[in-house]
Structure 1
Amino acid sequence: MKISLLADCPEQAAQVAQWYFDEWAHKDPESTLDRVKQKVALSMNHSEIPIAFVVHIEDELAGAGEIKYRELPDYPGLNYWLDGIYVPVKLRGKGISTALIEYARQKAHEFALPSLNLRCEAHNVKLYEKHGFEVVYTEQHKSIMSCAFDGLK
């Protein structure tokens, strides 16, 4: 299993965008695949946020994730978000999401982020709790989780 920045394998961006559209974005009537592709393209950075990363098993694209900056009025102080952790159904249960989450935590440390936050469905809460995230808000069918990095600015 190898994790890389999406910027280092830009040919994978279309597949990542398709995953994101199929899994989440299609639920928004204003979303299009082209818009998702544009958002993914904005995350193809090497040393700044937003930053996207992908995992490969041998030569197969096996998952993706992103760290983004967002100022959301409902969540003051929660500005850095782990987003888009995705693993295709056929590859789930192999530790890929764990590797992506730990990679994101490592990147958060490298960027000296005060915390990393995420929004997830109830069935994923335990997964993120194993990686130091705690539920800080609950909204309808989603949990807002945060992982603080003590001593970092």
Structure 2
Amino acid sequence: MAGSRNAVAQYREYSMPFITLSQAPHLLPDVARWYFDTWGHRTPGATLEDEQQRLEVFLHDNELPMLLIAMQDDVPVAAAQLKFHERTERPERLHWLGGVFVHEAHRGQDLAARLIETLMARAKGYGVREVFLQTERDDGGLYARLGWEPLERQTHRTGVPVRVMRRVLPLTGKPPA
């Protein structure tokens, strides 16, 4: 766990404002393009327009689900989501981290870790007790370093094998304003 604390300490040095998609709805096409080009194109018949429609669920204030965007000089450079029911075969697994994307020019600066930790802090504020994710990295990669525990291997609907992981959050605080 010491490695996890070091990762947290390192990313705090890198400062960049975060906003929700609901605060900047004009960024929806940019984020949709990132997601479609990275993952969405793998789904047979899926289109960029489908991805844009899927992201409309994040266009509201002060509630879940939430899509957080990192900005640099008024340009989006990274995003991550806290959403509901990523894998419908396990309905008891309600809250999911997903869509963690960092533009290639900003990778290697612990920005993904900072986005994830910010989303987890907000999730705790909403009383979320546990969050799940799926990753193509069998060892969990960044998520393992941030304290996520591996649960099982599954196959994504696109046929890609994924590792499902979980993180338990301590209950504290009230929803953020």
* Global fold match (TM > 0.5): yes
Cα deviation for residue 57 of structure 1 reads: 2.1
Residue 148 (1) aligns with residue 148 (2) = no
| Bigger radius of gyration among the two | 2
Instruction: Give the aligned partner of residue 39 of structure 1.
Output: 54
Structure 1 residue ranges without an equivalent (≥5): none
Q: Percent identity?
A: 26
Greater CA drift, 21-30 or 56-65 = 56-65
Match of 2:137 among 95, 118, 122: 122
Kindly provide the CA deviation profile for residues 1-53 of structure 1, in whole angstroms up to 9, marking residues without a partner as x.
11111111111111000000000010001311111101111112222222111
Cα deviation for residue 106 of structure 1 reads: 0.9
Output the TM-score relative to the length of structure 2.
0.79
> Which structure carries more relative contact order (alpha carbon 8 Å, separation 6+)?
2
User: Could you tell me which amino acid in structure 1 is paired with residue 125 of structure 2?
Assistant: E
Assess if the C-alpha contact under 8 Å between 1:117 and 1:145 holds in 2: yes
**Segments of 4+ in structure 1 off by > 4 A?**
none
Once residues 107 and 58 of structure 1 are traced to their aligned partners in structure 2, the CA distance between those partners, rounded to angstroms, is 24
Count of residue pairs the alignment pairs up? 152
Output the TM-score relative to the length of structure 1.
0.90
Assess if the C-alpha contact under 8 Å between 1:72 and 1:79 holds in 2: no
Assess if the C-alpha contact under 8 Å between 2:138 and 2:163 holds in 1: no
